Amino acid sequence: MTTNTLQTIHDIPVLICSPEGDAIGSERDALDLIGDAGYLGAEWAVVPVGRFDEAFFRLSSRVAGEIVQKFVQYRMGLVVLGDISGRTAESSALRDFVRECNRGRQTWFVVDEAELRERLKG
């Protein structure tokens, strides 16, 4: 059983997803997560990097774009939590995607909860 928890960080409701659970690798998975987060009143869903299907990190698969687009459509923030430096070192396209996402206010890639707290501060 996976245990997702709702936390409030700097007055922002955030769904922290359990590291255990089904892989997130499709629009359907994204919609399920958005529904769960929205039902609990979260504005952001924080998903450990290990929960994403490997295809998410291969931009040519288009999985990341499809998932991020669903979060944008439903106005739910998405945080990918964990170190992906090995993956970004191997893929300039992924590195550029992460950099572009981190410039915005919709999808972030953060290494740890401390970085998340700092980003949510303002």
Mean pLDDT, the chain, rounded, equals: 96
pLDDT at 68 (0 to 100): 97
Residue 21, SS3 per DSSP: coil
* Average pLDDT of span 40-51: 98
* This prediction's pTM: 0.95
Q: What is the pLDDT of residue 1?
A: 52
**pLDDT tens, position by position, 103-118:** 999 999 999 999 999 9
pLDDT reported for residue 6 = 97
Tally of CB atoms within 10 A around 20: 11
Q: Which domains does the chain have, with CATH numbers?
A: 5-121 (3.30.750)
- Residue 10's pLDDT is what? 96
* Cα distance between residue 79 and residue 107, in whole Å: 6
Asked if pLDDT for residue 48 goes beyond 90, the answer is yes
pLDDT for residue 122 is more than 80: no
Rounded to an integer, the average pLDDT of 71-86 is: 97
Mean pLDDT of 52-67: 97
Partners of 5 in beta bridges: 16
> Can you tell me the distance from the alpha carbon of 39 to that of 56, in angstroms, rounded to the nearest whole number?
25
d(CA 104, CA 91): 21
**Among 90, 107, 52, CA closest to 98:** 107
